[in-house]
Amino acid sequence: MALIAVGLDHEHASLDLLERATVLEHEWVKVLRTLVSHRNIHEAVFVSTCLRTEVVAVIDRFHGAIDEITATLSEVTGLPAAEFEEHLSVHFDRGVANHLFSVSAGLRSVVPGEFEVLGQLRRALELASDEHVAGPMLTDLFQKALTSGRRVRNETTIARGTTSFAHAAVEATLESLRGEAAGSTVVVVGAGQLAGGVVRSLLASSEGIGHVVVCNRTLSRAEDLRRILSDERVSVAPLSQLDEHLRGARVAVVAVEVPEPLITVETLSGRTTPLLAMDLAVPRGVARDVDSIPGVERFDIGALHQRVNRALDDRRDAVTAAEAIVADDVEKYLEDQRARGAAAIVSDLRAHFDSLVAAELQRRSSEIEALGDSEGEVLRSVVRSVVAKIAHRPTTALKESAGTDQGARLSEAVRTLFDI
């Protein structure tokens, strides 16, 4: 069995394609069950966010698994496979560890070093574990990747300054307001991790935000966030009152998964005051044509990506240091996997030889007993010694070649020759 990672991400696919390929979290269980129902897929973890829709799996046949994963992505997204096949990123075997450790470290994020990705990967693993589709291989891989991601943030300055996607979005928003933020009202749609990060960054800014209204479909979650923040500038409202609160807002931030845009030309009809709409949702939470209304500006993840890239020149050294940590942790992970692989085949081989000796001695037990206790014990000792010497060279070769192409061939040959 081997590891594979297949998916779409912001480095290789357009925002438009990522938007249409996003799978809402309440549908992830269906995706996982579909994946492991296929012949070549034994374990699977699935994650789909605003910037990444990806499958990490333990598989048998490479090409068969690629076809099965592609078919599943097509089914759950409703997109013809031909529309996204050329944009898929595929990582195999050792490359999966390099890729996932880099993702966890924030090296594949719009904002290098951002923290949200750790939570996304952790939730994806927890869901797969709850559904019993993530076995020992994927659990170990994800846990080691998450540990490496935390190490990168602790040992480098990659998370200095703009530390999250939410923080970067707020900075871009405040920059666009050009000093008009003081005393203004901001409506934030959502009450999850991303929305909570946006509200925290707004409250912590030096611009003097006047009021933040958190609108959420589940009002109790918004109330929980308000209680945690404990700031008199925060109020909450049900999503059904969004249009009403938008009328008095200078800024609106959509930071929640939605099946269709919440802010449209129709909802802003008749507006005469300026509005900056920051769309962090995928699929889109703000219709593309709202900026046709005078005074309304719309920013999305694509525009945010460009702004962040321009602002991160001072973090290049930290990125280099983070890459070195990732390379070190990946090599340790691979060494551990090689050791485990060698231990398993050596253990199986020794158990096979031991069972042969035991079976043969048992079969000839009456004849051995006729020799007498002393002679019988000598015979048993000689048989075990000869078999141990025969097994010595194969076990040594397996240990020495573990983790190499030759080791893989030897392991396969041993399993075939000795039927283990």
Rounded distance between C-alpha atoms, residue 360 and residue 383, angstroms? 10
**Annotated catalytic residue: which of 17, 36, 47, 50?**
50
CB contact at 8 A, 387 and 356: yes
Can you say whether the dihedral through the CA atoms of 56, 60, 61, 64 is positive or negative? negative
**Inter-residue long-range contacts of 234-240, CB under 8 Å, 24+ positions, other chains counted:** 234/199, 234/203, 235/211, 237/213, 239/189, 239/215
Assess whether 215 carries a catalytic annotation: no
Which of left, alpha, beta for 296 (phi over 0: left; psi -120 to 50: alpha)? beta
Q: Would you please indicate which residues are annotated as catalytic (active-site) residues?
A: 50
